[in-house]
Each structure stands twice: as C-alpha cells, then as structure tokens.
A and B are shown apart, each in its own frame.
Chain A
Amino acid sequence: GAVVSQHPSRVICKSGTSVKIECRSLDFQATTMFWYRQFPKQSLMLMATSNEGSKATYEQGVEKDKFLINHASLTLSTLTVTSAHPEDSSFYICSARDPIYEQYFGPGTRLTVT
C-alpha cells in the first residue's frame, strides 16, 4: 500500500501557543487529504477535507479559524492548531487518497496542551 507520513509524532505545547502538523504522501500524489481527530477508544472524527490548491472543507462544529489547513502541494497538507487549549489535546491523524481512491493514514500526532 501507499505510504503517508506525519510529523511530529508527539508534541507538547503550552496553552495559547500554536502547533503545526505536517502530512505527506510519500509515493503518490494526493489531490485530497483528510484530517481526523480520535479520542481514546472511539472512532475517527473527520475534521476537514483538504484539496490541493483550494480551501479546506470543514465539518460541522469544527472551527476553521482554530484549525488552519493548508494543502500547498500534491504531497503535503498541514494542520495548524492555533491558540491551543488543554481541550485540544488529542490524537490527530491525517489520511491521503490515492489515484484509485484508496485512502491511507499517517501514523498520527499525539498533541498535549499544558
């Protein structure tokens, strides 16, 4: 299967600061990438759909000004959590859709806001 990387794997930040998470498709071009949030023992909650060269589409209830998404190239999407608060602490996972519609996930980023 295709390979998707995500960086960093873990990050601890202070309340009020911003954190950027990168998602890369390593061996294919991804016109569409997705950002999810996963709480312990729960399913994947889609936050937004990121399309290369256009604005992201956010799911209902997700603040677009707080979770900034940029999909600047066919292999890179970034999620910036702005003015982070402890309630933003979570496991964030990206995924990328390959040309035959299969979707592959990155390894995830564990964000802890203190």
Chain B
Amino acid sequence: GENVEQHPSTLSVQEGDSAVIKCTYSDSASNYFPWYKQELGKRPQLIIDIRSNVGEKKDQRIAVTLNKTAKHFSLHITETQPEDSAVYFCAASNMNRDDKIIFGKGTRLHILP
C-alpha cells in the first residue's frame, strides 16, 4: 500500500521568509496530492492540491511542485506571516482506484516574529 513520508517534523522560519515542506510517496500509481493546514484545536483545511497531470500549481503565496519520477512533492509558502503557523499535512492517493487518502505525519510550522 501507499506510504507517505514528510519532512521536516518541525520547521521554524522568520516572518517574511519562505518555508518548504517535502513529502515522498511509495506508490507510483498515486495521482492526487492534497495539502492540509490544521490550526490548534481545529479541523484540517484543504489549502491546495495537485493532480499528476501537472508539475506545479500556485495559489497566491502557496505553491506545490510534483516530481513523479522521483515520487516526491513539496509545499512552498512565500512571504510567511504569523497566521501561517500551524501543522501541515501532505497526502497521496489514487483517484482511479478511488483509494483512501494516506497522510504524512505532519510538519509543525512556527513563524518567528
């Protein structure tokens, strides 16, 4: 089955700097890669997703890149702000098989003032 590894587990960046979170997956058939942000005590929120027919997707300060050959994908947050502090989860699944989504263990992002 699919296995998703996420790094780092904790990340601290200065406000205004960029943050990068990386994930790898094991099943080459996976074709859907969402990213979720979870603030303390709240639900995970879908912030961006990418499907395997594209290599990059951007939404304002957030971008995700996908390298299918290497089986890794990354989340990039530019011009970080205090409200970006949260836990971020990457995930992977195969839409064609209607598979469940497999989550990484999460990255706790701290934005330093």
Whether B45 and A105, one on each chain, are in contact in the complex, defined by CB atoms closer than 8 angstroms, is yes
Cα(A108)–Cα(B42), bound, Å: 8
CB distance from B54 to the nearest CB of A (A): 15
Within 8 Å by CB of B103, from A1, A44, A49, lies A44
Count of CB-CB pairs between chains A and B under 8 Å? 38
Known: A34-B100, A103-B34, A103-B101. Contact between A43 and B89, CB under 8 A?
A: yes
CB distance from A4 to the nearest CB of B (A): 8
- Interface status of A102 (Cβ within 8 A of chain B): yes
Whether A49 and B100, one on each chain, are in contact in the complex, defined by CB atoms closer than 8 angstroms, is yes
Known: A43-B89, A43-B106, A44-B103. Contact between A107 and B34, CB under 8 A?
A: no
- Interface status of A28 (Cβ within 8 A of chain B): no
- Interface status of A75 (Cβ within 8 A of chain B): no
Cα(A41)–Cα(B32), bound, Å: 25
Give the residues in chain B near A106, CB-CB below 8 Å. 43
For residue A57, which residue of chain B has the nearest CB?
A: B100
Give the residues in chain B near A32, CB-CB below 8 Å. 98
Give the residues in chain B near A42, CB-CB below 8 Å. 105-106
- Bitwise, B67-110 to A at CB < 8 A (1) or not (0) is 00000000000000000000001000001001011011110100
| Size of interface on A: residues with Cβ below 8 Å to B | 18
Known: A43-B106, A102-B49. Contact between A93 and B34, CB under 8 A?
A: no
Known: A101-B95, A102-B49. Contact between A43 and B43, CB under 8 A?
A: no
In chain B, positions 21-50 with a C-beta closer than 8 Å to chain A are 32, 34, 36, 42-46, 49
Of the candidates A42, A103, A104, A105, the one having the most CB atoms from chain B within 10 angstroms of its own CB is A103
Whether A93 and B43, one on each chain, are in contact in the complex, defined by CB atoms closer than 8 angstroms, is yes
- Interface status of A46 (Cβ within 8 A of chain B): yes
The 6 A-B residue pairs whose C-beta atoms are closest, nearest first, are A105-B43, A43-B105, A107-B43, A105-B44, A43-B106, A101-B95
Between-chain CB contacts (< 8 Å), 18 pairs: A1-B46, A34-B100, A41-B108, A43-B89, A43-B105, A44-B44, A44-B103, A93-B44, A101-B95, A102-B34, A102-B46, A102-B49, A103-B34, A103-B46, A105-B43, A107-B42, A107-B43, A108-B42
